[in-house]
Structure 1
């Protein structure tokens, strides 16, 4: 069943329910500031593990401005390719929370997750650098980018990476109404479904580190059981240079989920050194699904 059909089938029931619940939902979703993790638990390993910004000076605050940030990989829907189909990702471990911030800290693995948007040549350089070193990435794509660069969905999968949903337009989803947030998630899911045959396993909110209760509910309505956050933000979207990005990411530890961005040349230039440095420390870069299996 496609996202569009689900939307139609649920529309009348949702409108009636929203009339009764709008006050509670608005209280959860009207803040433009990054949402804080709530009591349900948002870390795969331990909620006490701190979220941190990987900087070289005092800790930075705030999130990237809208338009600047970032399941088992779906099988290709009939698109010919010289590459073999990607290997299916493992099932998530039992008890995986509805929002994952980090993976198990006892694993010698990290997940490098990428905001999927920007110059396709730079994005391809990121993918190629990872593949040359046996690394696998999680790319959370913006739907409007896929409208412009539909070939990138299959290119990502052909490299053995996984695709997820980062909304249609990368706006401040936490400040939206439930209907608006649903549309942002569903429209990107529809692009993924049409291009790959699957909506992907993960949803990451736009312009927020954490999904608030309203956003998590809309993601569930679209079909995402798990939102994907992160516990390391190297702030590569500020273009500090490849050397700085590399130094920041190499502070990762086992179980880290790192937020990076495909459309920045400094990130692409830093990636080979990042992967070599992680390997020298005995850490492998794997997809978020592998880390959380």
Structure 2
């Protein structure tokens, strides 16, 4: 009886979590479809800087000022609850010519919370962002990069492209590894068509801001242009 009870409890937990144990997508299987993008192979010297977990009333304006100084563009994957809290910062991002993307409403991971929770999170954030950028682009980044086939299909059905990041451009700036560490990582790994993962929210992002002061001028001198993800996607080959 004890083992039967434990088995029933386990099944119940799985049902409550909305299939939280569902297998996440595999890059080699999904990338050729164009529904999920990690980077865009191109001969053009373009790089997409992306910032997650904002907007932040402290760090987002500083990043916007630096981008403006270097005539660079970026994409901000915003959290819906923070957009509601700081609508004026969101407006600043858009008015400066940058993209905003859907990063769910409160930043839960699908591998821990399951499809049902993430579907609701995605849709709630979608409705929030439609107030700011009702047309294209429709870009979604799942927290932690965790997404299964069910969530991918749901997101695609709303016209979204899932945007992850180049494996060699995960700066781990959220861990505060040091300004020079962040800067050196991006500069030394820079390749055409990269999607760089950075953060403007979720904690103290002073190191990220300071690293940008190094990254932007050096890569520009090397001939790189910083573009929105929506611009980068135009370089994709037709699948």
Work out whether the TM-score is over 0.5. Answer: yes
2:135 and 2:230 mapped to 1: Cα distance?
A: 15
Q: 1:36 aligns with which of 26, 35, 41?
A: 26
Structure 1 residues 276, 212: CA separation in 2 closer, same or farther (over 3 Å shift)? same
2:107 and 2:120 mapped to 1: Cα distance?
A: 12
Partner of 1:132: 69
Partner of 2:100: 163
Contact 2:137 2:230 in 1 (8 A): no
Alignment of 1:195-206 (within 5 A): 195-198=132-135, 200-206=137-143
Alignment RMSD: 2.2
Partner of 2:152: 216
Structure 1 residues 200, 188: CA separation in 2 closer, same or farther (over 3 Å shift)? farther
Aligned residue pairs, count: 212
Aligned to 2:131, the other structure's residue is in SS state helix
Q: 2:85 aligns with which of 140, 148, 151?
A: 148
Contact 1:168 1:187 in 2 (8 A): yes
Q: 1:225 aligns with which of 160, 175, 192?
A: 160
Task: Work out whether 1:173 is the aligned partner of 2:114.
Answer: no
Deviation at 1:200, TM superposition (A): 4.2
Task: Work out whether 1:239 is the aligned partner of 2:176.
Answer: yes
Deviation at 1:166, TM superposition (A): 0.5
1:177 and 1:212 mapped to 2: Cα distance?
A: 9
Task: Work out whether 1:278 is the aligned partner of 2:219.
Answer: yes
Task: Work out whether 1:182 is the aligned partner of 2:80.
Answer: no
Partner of 2:11: none
Partner of 1:101: 38
5+ residue gaps in structure 1? 1-21, 43-95
Partner of 2:4: none
Aligned to 1:39, the other structure's residue is in SS state helix
What CA deviation, in whole Å up to 9, does each residue of 1:25-56 have, x standing for no partner?
93xx5259x753251325xxxxxxxxxxxxxx
2:82 and 2:142 mapped to 1: Cα distance?
A: 16
Whichever structure has more helix as a proportion of its residues is 2
